[in-house]
Structure formats: C-alpha cells, structure tokens
Amino acid sequence: MREVLLERPILPLIVLMLAFVAGLCPESARKRHRAWAVSFVFAVCLLAVSLVLDAMLVDASNASTTLEPLLAFLAGLCFAVPVLCLPPEAGVFVTVWAQIVVELVNQMLIPFMHRIADVNTPSGVGIHFGVLALAGVLLFWAARALLFPHLTHNGSYRMNHQKTVLSLAVLFVFLFLTNYQVIFYLIDNPSANNSPIVPTFRLVVGFAALFVLYLQNAQELAFLARHELDVVRQLQGMREEQFKISQENINLINQKCHDLKHQIAALRTMRDEETVNRQISEMESAVMIYDSAIRTGNPALDVVLTEKSLYCEAHQISMTCLVDGSCVSFVDVMDLYSMFGNAIDNAIESVMKVKDPEKRVIQVAGYREKDFAFIRIRNYCEDVPVLTDGLPQTSKEKNGYHGYGLLSIRSTAEKYGGDIRIDTGENSFTLQILIPA
C-alpha cells in the first residue's frame, strides 16, 4: 500500500483524471449510452489495469517513470471515448485538459497528503483515500460547472484536425518541460530535487499550457458564434423575400379562386345536365382548398399560416390553427413571419418522416395569457430528439441550415424580451414561445 500511495503517484493521477474527464463529458452523450453506475464500473477496471501496467513497466529508480503520464493519458482517453462515448477528437481534447489540470493539482496535492498522515498506519491510509475522494469530487464539480460551459458551444465540443493536433502538441511540450530530468538539465543542478524552483517551474509551465489551450478554444468558439449570427441574418433576409413572394401568390390565388367560383355559378345556371353538374362540383371541391385562407386578424400571420396550410394539405398533413393574431400585433411583420415560418417548417420536416398519414399532425396555437403572448407549435414525432442546451441535436450534416431555424426563433424571441422552451414527450415535440406583450 505504501508503494502505491507514495512511490507510485499514478493512483491519484488516474483517479483525478477520470473524475475530471467525467465532469467534462456532455450529459447528452452519456444518457444515450450508459448510466453513471456502468461508467463507474468501467472506471474502476481502467484504474486496476493501469496500476498493473505501472507495476510491470515502471521502475521508480530510473527514467521509466516517464511512462506514467502516457499510461494516465491512455486511461483517460479510454474512459472518454469508449466508456463516456465522446467522439475521438473531442475525447483527445478533453483528456489533454484533464491531464494538464490534474498534473498541476497532483503537484500540490501529494506533498499535502504526505504531511497530514502517515501511510504506515491504517488511519493514515484512510485519510489519504478520503482526501483523494474529496479532491475527485471537487475536480468533477469544477469541470462540470466552471470549465465545461466555456469549452463547449451549445453543449458540444466543436473539433477539427488542427485543434486536435494543437492539443496534443501542447500536451507534449508540457510533459517534456515538466519532466524532472529535463528540469534538472535546464537548471543545471541535479541536487535541486527538494528546491521550490522545481514545483514552481512545473506550475508555471502548466498554467501557460492551459492558457494556450483556452485561448485557442475561445477564439474558435467566438468565430462559430459570429458565423451562426451571420447565417441567422441571412435566413432572416431570405424569409423577408419569401414573405413578399408568398403574399403576392396567395393574394393572386384568392383572386383567381373568387373569380372562378363566380364563373362556375354562372355556368351552373346555363347548363343543368347531371354530368355537367358533377364536373362543376368536382371543380368547386378542387378550388375550395385555395380559398380557405386562415384569418387571424394579423395580415402577416394570415400569409404564413395560409401558405403552410396549403403545403400541408398537399402533403397529407393535418395542421390545425387556433391563433389570435392580436396577441402578437406588436411584433414586426418580418420577425413574425420568420418565427412562425421556421417553427412550422421544423414541424413539417418532422412529421414528413412519419409513414402513417393519419399521424402527421401539427397543432398551432397563439393567445394572450396575462401579460404574455404565448405561442405553441406541437407535432407528432416518432424519433424524439436529444436536447442539448435546450435545443435538439441535429441529425443532418454540420454545414446544413438545420438547427439555425431554432436559433433564429430564439434570437427573435429574445429581441422582444422573451424566450423559447422545447418539451418532448412520448411521440410529441412541442415548441413554446413566450414573449412579454
């Protein structure tokens, strides 16, 4: 036990690394695959295998101790990717962060543990494990609450090959410069093992490595945020053009249908034969769909809801609307069209995946509740999506516009001091928009 705790620091290193990696794992990735209990069992197995390999390969009296950081990195990576189900590149990024942070914590923790208790006694061993467990809990909390929101974008890691290579390069430089043999060579004083310059140098190098990783990640996330804002603005511009076209088309359709009904009525008075009447009835039924414009009391809503209603009718989708247009009269026409258009388009895309036409149901509601305008779009959904940061994870390609529609809706709601909420139930997906009226 003494050899494991004192002469082989790999035990606290790996325990703290696994706790830190678990803290940096997105909840959505873990929930889709394994529960925490199963992950804990895998963590214990990884720890045991690492201790066995350390005992077989590492000799504390020679330079083979340089293998311990490699063993710790492999253990953390195996925990992040196969166990916690992170993508490989994200797993590398998380493990690099964990190893550097834990090396810094270890640098301060092990001397503290040596001072507070003697591992030659059972009570000392218990104190050591107690301190180690407490440090693991604190590191998990710090990773989850403090670091995770700053390293991720909408609850997920945005990785590419360049970012992965840079992370590994930073880790390599950190491990090289914090190696004791390298430090002794740099300061040209092999007897400086007990000098405070060694831990100080290791801490400085570690914080510098973390600063480089954080700065690079922050710049990339800022770029992604600007890119999303540009895409949302482009979509809003496209919605404005689409609104003008839709308004013209629907007005033209209503005018033509109105004229056509009068022509049919005149034709019926001139011809009273049974066959002609049947044909005329079929013509009336065919054009009634185009003359059933939705009236909400808000011209912008009338345009978008009528347009979507026509599309749903043509694609065997049942869309019901119960909307009081006056509750959103204060919202700009373009914002209103964009918000409802994006929401209903998402619902249409979802129900179109349902094979049974009777289950292709969309419900649109809008009303005033106290001092708020409440909008709800609900649709049938067979494959309920996983939510990340309140938004569903996309199943489409990264470069597509999918997902930006909901970001645009949220942006529009926030513009008027409101917000959106997404609720998923059994075979249902509900988007709720709440705006102060």
- Domains observed in the chain: 2-177 (no CATH), 295-436 (3.30.565.10)
- The larger pLDDT score, comparing residue 36 to residue 208, is at 208
- The larger pLDDT score, comparing residue 373 to residue 58, is at 373
Residue 224 scores a pLDDT above 80: no
Distance CA 437, CA 325 (A): 12
pLDDT at position 157 is: 84
- The larger pLDDT score, comparing residue 347 to residue 389, is at 347
Tell me: the pLDDT tens digits for 75-104? 999 999 888 888 899 999 999 999 999 999
pLDDT level of residue 402 (50, 70, 90 thresholds): very low
pLDDT at position 242 is: 57
Distance CA 266, CA 288 (A): 17
pLDDT level of residue 171 (50, 70, 90 thresholds): very high
pLDDT level of residue 202 (50, 70, 90 thresholds): confident
Torsion, Cα 44 49 52 54, to 10 degrees, reads -100
Q: Which of these, 19, 15, 132, lies nearest to 72 by C-alpha position?
A: 15
- Report the pLDDT averaged over residues 156-181: 87
Which tokens belong to 6? 């004192």
Tell me: the pLDDT tens digits for 352-398? 989 898 899 999 999 998 888 999 999 998 887 877 766 776 544 44
Distance CA 388, CA 365 (A): 25
Residue 237 scores a pLDDT above 80: no
Q: Which of these, 282, 302, 293, 227, lies nearest to 256 by C-alpha position?
A: 293
Residue 151 scores a pLDDT above 80: yes
Q: Which of these, 359, 358, 384, 374, lies nearest to 420 by C-alpha position?
A: 374
Q: In percent, how much of the chain has pLDDT > 90?
A: 21
375 has which bridge partners?
A: 366, 433
Residues 6+ apart with CB under 8 A from 287: 257, 260, 261
Q: How far is CA 78 from CA 137, 186, 372, in A?
A: 20, 34, 49
Residues 6+ apart with CB under 8 A from 126: none
431 has which bridge partners?
A: 377, 422
pLDDT level of residue 344 (50, 70, 90 thresholds): very high
Count Cα neighbours of 370 within 13 Å in the Cβ-side half-sphere.
3
pLDDT at position 1 is: 46
Lowest mean pLDDT among 32-36, 49-53, 331-335: 32-36
Residues 6+ apart with CB under 8 A from 26: 86, 148, 152, 155, 156, 157, 388
- Evaluated on CA atoms 155, 158, 159, 162, the torsion sign reads negative
pLDDT level of residue 243 (50, 70, 90 thresholds): low
Torsion, Cα 201 207 212 214, to 10 degrees, reads 170
Distance CA 4, CA 15 (A): 13
pLDDT at position 16 is: 92
Residues 6+ apart with CB under 8 A from 317: 311, 348, 351, 352, 357, 360, 361, 362
Residue 322 scores a pLDDT above 80: yes
Burial call 118-150: b when 16+ CB within 10 Å, e when fewer: ebeeeebbebbbebbeebbeebbebbbeebbee
Q: What is the mean pLDDT of the chain?
A: 79
**Top-confidence range, 53-57, 221-225, 389-393, 419-423:** 419-423
Backbone angles phi, psi at 194, to 5 degrees: -95, 10
pLDDT at position 401 is: 38
pTM equals 0.59
